[in-house]
Amino acid sequence: MSSKVAHPFASIESALEFIVLLQGAIAEASDEVRGKLRNASTEGQIKDVKLALFRLHQLSFTVNNTRDILSDLSLLHDRIT
């Protein structure tokens, strides 16, 4: 097993790579859930799908903030080393 797999967050850069992948997965999930909203037939289904979209939006916002923080930390790390 490589050390990259054994320690996926051994650096700020590797954590940033993960966050970028996570952003893509969130975007795909959001697209899929929007499709479910178009096909929702009952008020309960619509409510549940809208809640899922809201939560995905919250997660996306948090992950975007995390990406920004990691980017800042990466720049600072480069400056101080």
* 45-72 tens-digit pLDDT: 999 999 999 999 999 999 999 999 999 9
How far apart, in whole angstroms, are the C-alpha atoms of residue 51 and residue 18?
26
Give the pLDDT of residue 73.
Answer: 94
35 in any annotated domain: yes
52 in any annotated domain: yes
How far apart, in whole angstroms, are the C-alpha atoms of residue 42 and residue 44?
5
Assign 1 a pLDDT band (cuts: 50, 70, 90). Answer: very low
DSSP calls for 41-75: -SHHHHHHHHHHHHHHHHHHHHHHHHHHHHHHHHH
72 in any annotated domain: yes
Domain range for residue 41?
14-80
4 in any annotated domain: no
Number of domain units in the chain: 1
Q: What is the pLDDT of residues 17-43, one digit of tens each?
A: 999 999 999 999 999 999 999 999 999
* 67 closest CA partner among 32, 27, 17: 17
6 in any annotated domain: no
49 in any annotated domain: yes
29 in any annotated domain: yes
